[in-house]
Structure 1
Amino acid sequence: MLFSEVVETSAAVGATRSRLAKVEALAGLLRRMTTPAVVSFLVGVPSQGRIGAGWRTVLDLDVEPAPGPSLTVSDVDGALGAFAAISGKGAAGRRVAALTDLFARATAAEQDFLKRLLTGELRQGALEGVMLDAVARAADVPGEVVRRAFMLSGSLPATATAALTGEAALAAFRLEVGRPVRPMLASPAESLPGALAELGATAVEHKLDGARIQVHRDGDGVRVFTRTLREVTTTVPELVDLVRGLPCTSVVLDGETLALTDDGKPRPFQETMSRFGAQDVRELLLSPFFFDCLHLDGEDLLDRPLRERLDALRRVAGDHLVPGAVEPGPEEAARVLDEALAAGHEGVVVKSLDSVYAAGRRGRAWQKVKPVHTLDLVVIGVEWGSGRRKGLLSNLHLGARDPDGGPPVMVGKTFKGLTDELLAWQTRELLARATDRDDWVVRVRPELVIEIELDGVQVSPRYPGGVALRFARVVRYRPDKDPAEADTVDAVRALLPGPGSAESTTEAP
């Protein structure tokens, strides 16, 4: 398959707002794909993952484009694989030469696509859902079968290849101890009573202010992964030792880990996250709290109701369970919420005891209850500060994820909640991600997720999403989250007040 076909399809997908049109365009190409790299390129990630192509190195390339398309997808995939393998003395020069050779064989449109692919500007996790629909359409198999296979394989290219082979190949994917599955996610609840009424028989658990972890143990072998499926085993030896000592032979546990103060309160989230990249891995100990069991001693539990998974969890995790209550009445559930907040946590998660583990999905079976509205948004630009903030990047432009795979949709700005330390940090980090700038605004690659607290949203023509955040303020950056996990513009619109509310006509601050 010619690489130009991928480039043309990507352009067609980016040019339409119609989800159906995106799915049809992708499915048409997938039916003819000859290598899984097609899928990788279409969702904006080289099949090798990060290959070490520096942003400045790529953008500084000035190569005369080829007059016509000749590169195949396999040519490009092979060239990127060879590039990633370059190391040793003189590697920088040889890497530039390798990229120059590849770009010399590419047309102008192909060069533009390659630059965006290698600098991350094509990396659209939001396109993942559209791609899964396209795989199902191309292979003529049920969407849920495709999504389950992806949940278990963790690989879009592998899922697409299996789907085009047949439904039986998709059904062959199983939970594999040592290979992470995508975490099940919670949706915001309007209120604790509302969540309890909607879900029926529930468990109500503390929503800890920590980092999501998934631990896998097979005999003495233990592996620890973050919510983005990045392995951090070597940086958390205390968690490895603890899991190795649990009363089982094999297990897969879902939970949170956090650093605690001497009186048991959570330390700042950034301190917990710093452990995953720390050089001195004993400088700050982490404590695990598990809330789900996906596998125990040879038995997969993903499709068992939460009630049964919690029974397995209690047998294996002992004192390391997240605090909470099973089937509480309204008064006990309210007490659990009060205890969580008093302990310095974010709120509670209300979970249906009849729900299966829907990995990678943000459904209604798990609902989070927090005393304030928060959203995870993507930084898409920033304005220079003035006064005491002169010389620092201050006023953030905030984007919500487009569920149909387009670029983030701007829904507001804020400069509130930023400490001097955070201002200095974000100035360095955002300048390193700048794609365009003028005297006032720096536009950046949409890579950083930030948690924003707000009083609500309102209808507004000011921003493309038709809504604006009210009294938005920064809580923290979320290095544990990928832009594909940011809240969608639909989730922002869901916070709109009802008709007739005074808030619905108040201008954004």
Structure 2
Amino acid sequence: MSNPNLEIMSTCPRSAFDVLMSNAYESRTRKREAPVEISQTSNFTVKKSASNPIGGAHVKNSQVKISPDESLVELKKKAANFDVKRAVYWGEGERVPFMFVVKAFDAMSKESGRIAITEIVCNMLRTVIETTPDDLLAVVCLLANRIASPHEDLELGLGDASIMEALAGACGADVNRIKKQYTDLGDLGLVAKASRSSQPLMRKPEALTVAKVFDTFQLIAKESGRDSQRKKKNHIKALLVAATDSEPQYLIRLLQTKLRIGLAERTLLTALGHAAVYSEKHSSPPGNVDNPLEEAAKIVKQVYSVIPVYDKMVPALLSGGVWNLPKTCRCSPGIPIVLMLAKAAKGVPEVLEKFENMEFTCEYKYDGERAQIHFMENGSVEIYSRNAERNTGKFPDVVAAVTRLKKPCIKSFVLDCELVAYDREKQKILPFQILSTRAKKNVVMNGIKVDVCIYAFDILYANGQELLQERLDVRREHLYKSFQEEQGFFQFATSITSNDPKEIEMFFDDAVNSGSEGLMMKTLKKDATYEPSKRSNNWLKLKKDYMDGIGDSLDLVPIAAFHGRGKRTGTGFSEVMLEEWSASLRSKVIPKPKSYYRYSDTISPDVWFEPTEVWEVKAADLTVSPVHRAAIGIVYPDKGISLRFPRLVRVREDKSPEEASSSDTEHHAELVKEWMEFRAS
């Protein structure tokens, strides 16, 4: 088999790896009669040839676009015929080579289609499941580019400077030269690949395995104390010395948590579900399942949203199979559940239309920090942020309040709530900006200057019983029976049940006047289960800004800026804020844009930034732009979307750049389409 973009070292036979990747390539091509060169919509370049077999087929003509449904059908047919024996090239009892994963990274980075990437990952995972299942957890974690779940507080603790020093030491290079190459290329992984490949070795080191790499990453994360940075760098150097071909490139990217292969976590979960079906040895799909692949992917994603911990889910999948996964892997206090989210509504009439003939409740939408509070049977408490990070050390007063105000009959619970800055003397809610001034960690009770009130609106688990599948009215009963209210410390979300437009509008005004953002509207009985990780139509949010502008705010990452000219206060910045954020971003300036930034040649910013911050931005309107590249192709094939009269709402310290708004996510794609259709009408 010959594919110039999948050149494999002798440690990874070409035939083995090509069969793993070939179906993904075939699913994007069709055979025609006359042989010509292929170059469209793909990074592969296949030269004219009378015979160029890719996975046993002959590519004979240029690509022809086919519908997603047709692609999926072809994918399923080819995947069913995938032969693990032809893909595996390591011996029985041997660990999965790191090169196997690296070449998959390489292949994915050259793909843009989700279906093709899903198949590559699926075939990888099938190979591991059927030959080396003990390595499946490590492979999945590397694909997800994480060594532990966010709530476990286990991080590599490495900055670019430390990584560059380790790279320089491993390659016998000057660290200043490494820094210059990084500045020139904008990708430290490419610098590592070039530097490592030019370094001669006295002897060939033992080939890296997935287990070795993953175990070393965990060692790096666990190093602590006075000499920890030196030890971390030594671990990195040991990996780099043993690395060959493209391995240094992806080792460095994994260490930076900037894998850049276009693999979203939902795609990984889908591929894991598919691989489990093909490798299923435990039982057949339930009789009512028409499409096992889709159902398995749905199960894996649902379970992961309840227990987002691979080292619990992967072993359960291997031992009990995918069809039993909801039973063998259930939520428990101490492991954060992915939060349910709401969709935006532009007014009360829209809410009444969507909830027609359904009983629903209206709750105050508090302007604070979303929190999930876990109380364990041993009396310990953990608090998790909206992105599942442990926040317990930030809120010792919240720990004390829930411990004091839970009723004696409650031995364990998982509570969904909002933590809001509160003035107990004046008995009023304070703005979010006040809450943001609290220290981020290691807070002590006698040092607290900003008090918070817990506004509880849902309970997901109580006394050993999972409540996710219960209706909201039932969950509310559990909530009200479980806690004692105390003003300024612990209160239930203010709510009414009504479908009277005037009453709802008056309630909305009361919410805004009280210092809240607006209202949350939720179905009470029909379609009223708690849906982790989903932005559901059964929860709608109505804010004052939504009634004035585009409906929802956007979480954006600043990547460039122009030097200001005169006073600029109309975009949400005061003069003080301008100076504050300018100072903040000065340390993030980079000499040139990252290779993966998309922008028009007609735009020439004065400075470019490392993507580090997330800004919540509101706008009066969305408009088609021939210059900006955001959401390009959704409305017009060669035009993007820009914001009209944007203004900064706040900096989202609870979000990482990877969690920013994206046209790839269902919710934001819908937002763009719906609003553009609304404007057109």
Match for residue 560 of structure 2? 382
What does 1:46-445 align with in structure 2 at a 5 Å threshold?
46-47=147-148, 49-60=154-165, 61-62=167-168, 63=171, 64-65=195-196, 70-107=207-244, 109-122=246-259, 127-140=264-277, 142-156=296-310, 158-165=312-319, 166-167=321-322, 168-199=324-355, 200-219=358-377, 220-245=379-404, 246-247=406-407, 248-261=410-423, 262-275=425-438, 277=440, 279-281=443-445, 282-319=448-485, 320-353=491-524, 354=526, 355-372=528-545, 373-387=551-565, 416-434=571-589, 436-437=591-592, 440-445=605-610
Match for residue 487 of structure 1? 661
Question: How much has 1:163 moved relative to structure 2?
Answer: 3.0
Distance in 2 between residues matched to 1:420 and 1:55, nearest whole Å: 33
The question of whether the paired residues in 1 share the 8 Å contact of 2:456 and 2:493 is answered with yes
Deviations 1:18-73 (CA, angstroms, capped at 9, x unpaired): 22112111111112232312222222223484211112222453324258993211
Q: One-letter code of the match for 1:332?
A: E
Distance in 2 between residues matched to 1:343 and 1:304, nearest whole Å: 31
2:363 counterpart SS class: strand
479-488 vs 455-464, greater mean Cα deviation: 479-488
CA 1:382 to 1:324, structure 2 compared with 1: closer, same or farther past 3 Å? same
CA 1:359 to 1:500, structure 2 compared with 1: closer, same or farther past 3 Å? closer
Distance in 1 between residues matched to 2:126 and 2:590, nearest whole Å: 35
Question: How much has 1:424 moved relative to structure 2?
Answer: 4.3
Match for residue 121 of structure 2? 26
Distance in 1 between residues matched to 2:510 and 2:263, nearest whole Å: 36
Question: How much has 1:9 moved relative to structure 2?
Answer: 2.1
The question of whether the paired residues in 2 share the 8 Å contact of 1:163 and 1:170 is answered with no
Q: One-letter code of the match for 2:662?
A: T
2:436 counterpart SS class: helix
Deviations 1:114-148 (CA, angstroms, capped at 9, x unpaired): 22222232389981211111111111262221122
- Say whether residues 1:446 and 2:608 are aligned partners: no
CA 1:74 to 1:176, structure 2 compared with 1: closer, same or farther past 3 Å? same
54-63 vs 446-455, greater mean Cα deviation: 54-63
Deviations 1:186-233 (CA, angstroms, capped at 9, x unpaired): 111232221232132111111111000111223432222111222222
Distance in 1 between residues matched to 2:646 and 2:483, nearest whole Å: 39
The question of whether the paired residues in 1 share the 8 Å contact of 2:365 and 2:520 is answered with yes
Q: One-letter code of the match for 1:215?
A: I
Q: One-letter code of the match for 1:52?
A: G
Question: How much has 1:421 moved relative to structure 2?
Answer: 4.5
The question of whether the paired residues in 2 share the 8 Å contact of 1:350 and 1:367 is answered with yes
Match for residue 469 of structure 1? 643
Distance in 2 between residues matched to 1:326 and 1:447, nearest whole Å: 42
The question of whether the paired residues in 1 share the 8 Å contact of 2:558 and 2:615 is answered with no
Distance in 1 between residues matched to 2:231 and 2:679, nearest whole Å: 65
The question of whether the paired residues in 2 share the 8 Å contact of 1:35 and 1:74 is answered with no
64-73 vs 126-135, greater mean Cα deviation: 64-73
Question: How much has 1:184 moved relative to structure 2?
Answer: 0.7
Q: One-letter code of the match for 1:371?
A: K
Q: Find the structure with the greater CA-based Rg.
A: 2
Q: One-letter code of the match for 1:99?
A: I
1:275 counterpart SS class: coil
Match for residue 68 of structure 2? none
Match of 1:10 among 90, 105, 114: 105
Q: One-letter code of the match for 2:124?
A: L
More strand by percentage: 1
The question of whether the paired residues in 1 share the 8 Å contact of 2:117 and 2:263 is answered with no
115-124 vs 356-365, greater mean Cα deviation: 115-124
- Identical amino acids, percent of aligned pairs: 26
Structure possessing the higher relative contact order (Cα contacts under 8 Å, 6 or more residues apart): 1
Question: How much has 1:387 moved relative to structure 2?
Answer: 4.2
Distance in 2 between residues matched to 1:221 and 1:76, nearest whole Å: 34
CA 1:92 to 1:498, structure 2 compared with 1: closer, same or farther past 3 Å? closer
The question of whether the paired residues in 1 share the 8 Å contact of 2:333 and 2:414 is answered with yes
Output the TM-score relative to the length of structure 2: 0.65
1:32 counterpart SS class: helix
1:277 counterpart SS class: coil
Q: One-letter code of the match for 2:417?
A: G
Deviations 1:244-271 (CA, angstroms, capped at 9, x unpaired): 1211222211010111245444433243
The question of whether the paired residues in 2 share the 8 Å contact of 1:188 and 1:367 is answered with yes
CA 1:123 to 1:477, structure 2 compared with 1: closer, same or farther past 3 Å? farther
201-210 vs 154-163, greater mean Cα deviation: 154-163
Match of 1:35 among 118, 126, 136: 136
